[in-house]
Every structure is written in structure tokens, then in C-alpha cells.
Amino acid sequence: MDYQNKIFYQIYPRSFKDSNQDGIGDIKGIISKLDYIKSLGVDFIWLSPVYASPNADFGYDISDYKSINKEYGSMADMELLITKAKELGISIMMDLVMNHTSSEHAWFKASKDKNSPYRDFYIYKDAKNGKEPNNWTSFFGGKAWTKTDDGDYYLHLFATNQPDLNLKNEAVIEAFKDIMRFWLDKGIKGFRCDVVNVIHKDSLEDGRWRLVLKGLEHYHSTKQNHEILKRLRKEVMEPYDAITVGETVLVSIQEAEELLGIKEKELDMIFSFAHMETDQINNKWFRTKFKPKKFIKVLKDWQVNLSWNTLYFENHDQPRSISRFGKEYYRKESGKMLATLLLTLRGTPFIYQGQEIGMLNVDYKSIEDFVDVETKNIWALSKKLHFPKWYRWRMIQKSSRDNARSPMQWDAKQGFSKGKPWLKINKNEKNINVEAEEKDPNSILSYYKRLISIRKKSNALTLGDFKPLYAKRGLFAYERTDGVQTYVVIVNMTKKYKRFKRMPQGVIVLTNYKPEGLKHLRPFEALIIEVEKNEK
């Protein structure tokens, strides 16, 4: 299926729209907003997990892959969503977690019996000198092993209640093929595959010393991992003409290309993290000042060297992009500038709910307002390590995943839900909300809509070549062309006025300021210029 000229929109169901006023977003809520999603020009929805889950990690801990979380609705609701979306020409992509299940999954419960065939669905190992079997650490901080009642340990690369599956076991792979077909038969058109390059563990040896993720070299993009992806593609995805986007952690451009499949296809697209790591040292809890130059360089390298990119600046794990790569003071300007990049670079754009109205990081005042398991873990761990309180608080404010998960701001008066929301709404919903932005032709939302429609009509902006023209001083200029049409895009990623001497001749197709003399770029100014082809 074609995915190169599609626009994706990610929904985090718990925070999108509540239909029955219990404070929790649900599937009926999504259905009620399909017209809104359509009005943006979206073709594909990526739905974060809606499966049955005890919510230790809000759906990324799945207890039954073939049923719907009751808080979100019923199977009938899900089927209705697929049908209604299809009527509007929108396809649905589900989130598939193959690395681990919930500890409440029937497989894991059965696996506690050493004689059960399900024992081998997971990764158990006996204690080593009365301690953990190896020195691996988890993505969420702390040890990657938890002791069971019988004295053995089980592996979990994420939270304690997310035991890792054993993908060396053929029965596990068969189970996933069955799960995938179950949903594809219901009419979904693809999967976003969670942490899909760490699902196969080569060995359980000690890892070499690393500050974070000790053990990584034993399970990162292993050869068998590639083989599993190839198989799933051939045996399941291809017959359904469905597409896959892999969330691939810590990959270089070359590794990414390999996951896309140099000789044999593995995944259609991958989410890489390189650009998201430009404002951090070692890991996301240690953020440095955002340096546009570095960010631009990474974007440029991936644009030039990877055959096809996904384009994203936000998702349910990341802080809001304006608060991070722009400036809240210049919310409108920097929000539109980021939108310009997102929709004119080469690749498939993914918009995260709320990004299109310029939502910002949360304004919480106390640690009690946060609920995310990772946030709680890090808060406790950093306390144990005697980090000063002000520093710990800053870490949480800047990096907590709840920044992205506060409820969608539909109107000025809790349009998300009349009930008490499961996670606090930003107070700024009074000014930043869908209703207000829909009325305002100069809003970020209106700008997104215009951009999407410009992109969709243009072969040059979708499939055309990318050529970098200038990437210095926080300015990024590049050309997109298909030989017939040529655009030059110029953005200023800083809050400063910047002289720019290479302004091309042509027609301004879109800009986030009133066009003027074109001798300098204003704070966060963005321009899309169509240039005459005979000029080149």
C-alpha cells in the first residue's frame, strides 16, 4: 500500500475525547471527532494501544491482544470506528507490542508454573549467586530482572509488570501472526510496531559498561531480529497489503536502512530518534539547551542518506515540540515554523494529537499531578541518588511523558470531558483550543490545514528530491523538486533576526509572517517559495 504521500495522525486514546464523562478518552469519543480529523486532511490514524490492559504503562502492557480495554469501549465500538473511518477515506493503524506483555496476561500467569508450555514464552533464568542473572538495566531505570516466588528471575526491558517475551520460541511468533491476522481481518491497514528492533535477545551475558541500558549489545538489532521482521512481512503483512512502521530505538542511518530492508524488505518505515536526541546528554533526563544547529544537521543527514524517512517532532513519549524546539513566547510563529518543516521535508509526516493546535508542555505544580510510571520511577531513583530536589523537579518538568498526554484541548471549557480527567488539563486551554483555532484564519491549526493541502497537491513536496541549500546559524534552507515544480523552503529556528543573502526569486506559497523585503528572517520565520524551473 502506498504510504509515501499520506498524512498520519497519532491518537493517544486515553487523552483524546471522552464520550461518557468518566474522565477517560474512549473509542466513541474518537468516532465523534472523525470529521475533525478528516478536516485536517489526514489519511491514516495511528492508534496507540486500545487492547485490554491493567494500565501499568497505559496500554503498552497488554493483557489480551484480542479484546478492547473496557475503559475505551467494546469490540463493536472498535469495529464501528474502523467502518466510519473507512467511509471518510481514513485507514487505521494499530500499535503492536511484541517485546513484552502485561504481567496480567494469561500467558504470563500460566508461565509461573515451571512445567507449563508457557514457561518458555518468557525469559526466565535462575539467580546468579543469589542475585540477578546478569547486569542488564531497563529502559525505565533500575534493574531489568524481577524475582519470582520460585526464586527464578524474569527479564523485563521496561516496567516490572511488562515481562519480555521469548521470541526464540516459535510458538510466540505463531501467536503474533495469529493476532495480526485477527486485526487485519477486521479491516485495519497496518501496525506501528513498538520497540521492534530489540525483541530478539541473542544471549543473556552481562553487558559491557554503559551509563544506561547495560546489556544493549546483546539484543539490539540482532540478526534474528531482522529474520523475524522479514518473516512477519512476507507471511502476514504482504498478503494483506498492510504497512508497518517500526519504532526502532538507537539506530544509526545505516542500521535504519537495514531495517527498511536493503535486500529484502522488513519494515515500510521506521521512527528514528536521532533528531530527538539532539537536546540531551546520554539520555532524556539530562537535557541540554536546545541547539538548532545540531538539530538541523541531524535532519539534513537523515534526509540526504536514508531512502525514506518518517517525519515527526512529537508523540506520546516526547515533550511538546514548541516547548522544546521552539519558544512558548513565540508559540504561533515557532509552531508554524515546525509545521513547515514537518510537512515539507522528504518523508511521511506524523502529527501527534494537539500538535496541530500548538499545545504546550504541562503546567503542573506538583509531582502528584504526574501519573506516568516512568516519571514515578525516575523521581524515586533520582531521590535515591541524592539529586537535589530542584534538579529532579526540572528533569520531570522537561522530560516527563505526561507533557504529551494531558488531555486534548477541544474548547475553553473542558471539551475533553465533563468528568474529572484522568490526567490534568493544561490551564492554557482557555486560549489554546480547537474551537478558537478553527475560527481564526491565522491560527496554527489553519496553517496546518493549508500546509497539508499544499503538500498533497504537489508531487515535488511529496516524492520529489531533497537538496540541502544552507544549514548554518540556526537557518535551514532546502530545495524540493520533481523536475517540473521546484520549491525552496527556508526556516529560521531561532528567536533572533537573521540576515539571509541567498533569498531566491519566486512566488511565496506560504509563510508564517506578512511577506516583506526578504533581506532577513524574523524570529522563527518560515517561507515556502516556488521558484521558476528555468532559473535553475
Counting contacts by CB under 5 A, is residue 20 touching Ca ion?
yes
Task: Choose the one of ligand ISL, Ca ion, none that binds residue 219, judging by a C-beta under 5 to 8 angstroms depending on kind.
Answer: none
429 catalytic, yes or no?
no
Counting contacts by CB under 6 A, is residue 195 touching ligand ISL?
yes
Nearer to ligand ISL, 250 or 471 (CB): 250
Nearer to ligand ISL, 45 or 493 (CB): 45
Instruction: Give me the residue label for grid cell 510466540.
Output: 172
Q: Assess contact for 476 and 299: CB atoms under 8 A.
A: yes
Nearer to ligand ISL, 356 or 374 (CB): 374
Least distance CB 29 / Ca ion (angstroms)? 7
Q: Report in angstroms the alpha-carbon separations of 271 from 320, 347, 391, 469.
A: 17, 11, 30, 25
Beta-bridged to residue 99, according to DSSP, are none
Counting contacts by CB under 5 A, is residue 32 touching Ca ion?
no
Counting contacts by CB under 6 A, is residue 279 touching ligand ISL?
no
Least distance CB 273 / ligand ISL (angstroms)? 7
Distance between the two ends of the chain, CA-based, in angstroms?
A: 34
* Contact track, ligand ISL, 317-346, x by CB under 6 A: x-----------------------------
Q: List the one residue out of 406, 416, 379 whose CA is nearest residue 20.
A: 416
Q: Beta strands 153-155 and 145-147: pairing type?
A: antiparallel
Counting contacts by CB under 6 A, is residue 97 touching ligand ISL?
yes
Nearer to ligand ISL, 331 or 392 (CB): 392
**CA distance linking residue 148 with residue 111, whole number of Å:** 11
Nearer to Ca ion, 153 or 422 (CB): 422
**CA distance linking residue 280 with residue 282, whole number of Å:** 6
| Interface pick for ligand ISL out of 3, 46, 122, 158 (rule CB under 6 A) | 158
CB atoms within 10 A of CB 171: 12
Nearer to Ca ion, 18 or 57 (CB): 18
User: How is residue 202 written as a grid cell?
Assistant: 541473542
Least distance CB 376 / ligand ISL (angstroms)? 13
Counting contacts by CB under 6 A, is residue 530 touching ligand ISL?
no
**CA distance linking residue 77 with residue 68, whole number of Å:** 9
Residue 49 CA from chain centroid, whole number: 12
Q: Assess contact for 487 and 480: CB atoms under 8 A.
A: yes
Site for ligand ISL in 240-259 (CB under 6 A): 247, 249
Q: Which stretch binds Ca ion (CB under 5 A): 19-27, 98-106, 195-203, 505-513?
A: 19-27
Least distance CB 181 / ligand ISL (angstroms)? 22
Least distance CB 18 / Ca ion (angstroms)? 4
3-state SS, one letter per residue, for 346-404: CCEEEEECCHHHCCCCCCCCCHHHCCCHHHHHHHHHHHHCCCCHHHHHHHHHHHCCHHH
Nearer to ligand ISL, 355 or 481 (CB): 355
| Given the residues 43, 95, 194, 258, the one annotated as active site | 194
| Interface pick for Ca ion out of 11, 24, 425, 529 (rule CB under 5 A) | 24
CB atoms within 10 A of CB 53: 26
Counting residues that bind ligand ISL (by CB under 6 A) gives: 13
Site for ligand ISL in 132-151 (CB under 6 A): 139
Least distance CB 148 / ligand ISL (angstroms)? 21
Q: Assess contact for 418 and 400: CB atoms under 8 A.
A: no
| Given the residues 164, 247, 372, 530, the one annotated as active site | 247
194 catalytic, yes or no?
yes
Beta-bridged to residue 450, according to DSSP, are none
Counting contacts by CB under 6 A, is residue 108 touching ligand ISL?
no
Task: Choose the one of Ca ion, ligand ISL, none that binds residue 22, judging by a C-beta under 5 to 8 angstroms depending on kind.
Answer: Ca ion
Nearer to ligand ISL, 188 or 193 (CB): 193
Site for ligand ISL in 379-418 (CB under 6 A): none
Residues 370, 373, 374, CA angle at the centre, nearest 5°? 95
Least distance CB 525 / ligand ISL (angstroms)? 31
Nearer to ligand ISL, 165 or 477 (CB): 165
Site for ligand ISL in 49-78 (CB under 6 A): 57, 60
**CA distance linking residue 163 with residue 122, whole number of Å:** 7
Q: Assess contact for 13 and 72: CB atoms under 8 A.
A: yes
Q: Report in angstroms the alpha-carbon separations of 398 from 34, 395, 408.
A: 31, 5, 19
Q: List the one residue out of 68, 72, 63 whose CA is nearest residue 97.
A: 63
Site for ligand ISL in 175-194 (CB under 6 A): 194
Instruction: Give me the residue label for grid cell 486514546.
Output: 13
| Interface pick for Ca ion out of 10, 17, 18, 375 (rule CB under 5 A) | 18
User: How is residue 289 written as a grid cell?
Assistant: 539547551
CB atoms within 10 A of CB 1: 13
Q: Which positions are catalytic?
A: 194, 247
Q: What is the contact surface with ligand ISL in residues (CB under 6 A)?
A: 57, 60, 97, 139, 158, 194-195, 247, 249, 284, 316-317, 374
Q: What is the contact surface with Ca ion in residues (CB under 5 A)?
A: 18, 20, 22, 24, 26
